[in-house]
Amino acid sequence: MREYETTFIVQPEISEEGCQELLARIDGILDREGAIRLLHDDQGKRKLAYEIRRFQKGRYVTTQYLDRGGAVAPFERTLRLEESVLRFLTVQVADRVEDVEHRKQLAAEEERIRADRARERAEREAEEDKARREAAKLAAESLAEAEPKEELNGNEDAESEPEDELNGNEDAESEPEDELNGNEDAESEPEDEPESEDLPVENGEER
């Protein structure tokens, strides 16, 4: 049997359940075609060399399997029809594998190691995503708290204007009072005149 390796890039938004479902479908195709799946190597999200369907990143997965050549075509056909798969490439790793059981044992050990690395990488990416979300949430809350304070300060300045106008009105209203006082002063001038006047005298006699 010959050993093949198919690497395909999946959209970065694919969920873990969606990726596992795709790998299960691949296992079914390989088993149906008489191939032996050695391992699935999920390498996680990586930056693409160039943009594909407006995606800057992709999830890289490599499948190694033993086959006589009949499983490659249906495998690639499945990947071609899968909307979440952006690109794929199949290469022949070995022209002939003599000890299949030994190769399967090596692949099982290698798959276990790579699965542990993938789990650690997924946990690290989840923590980084959580930290980014929390930072974005705190930034949004800080911005939301700052806006009402600015609006409140603006309203206080606006409300202070009528108070100034009121003070101005009080000053204006005080003017009539001064005028009234002035009138009172004017009316009080006759009080300075003598209380009695000399009566006119006719013929030297008083009337």
Which residue type sits at 174?
S
Query: For the chain, how many helices (H) and strands (E)?
Result: 3, 6
> Are 25 and 78 contacting, i.e. CB atoms less than 8 angstroms apart?
yes
Tell me which residue has tokens 């929390």: 134
pLDDT for res 159: 55
DSSP state, residue 199: P
- pLDDT tens per residue, range 25-58: 999 999 999 999 999 998 889 999 999 999 999 9
Cβ neighbour number for residue 97 with a 10 Å cutoff: 16
- 135-174 residue pLDDT tens: 999 888 888 888 766 565 665 555 555 555 545 555 545 5
- CA 8 – CA 22 distance, rounded (Å): 11
> All domains of the chain, ordered by start, with CATH?
2-129 (3.30.70.60)
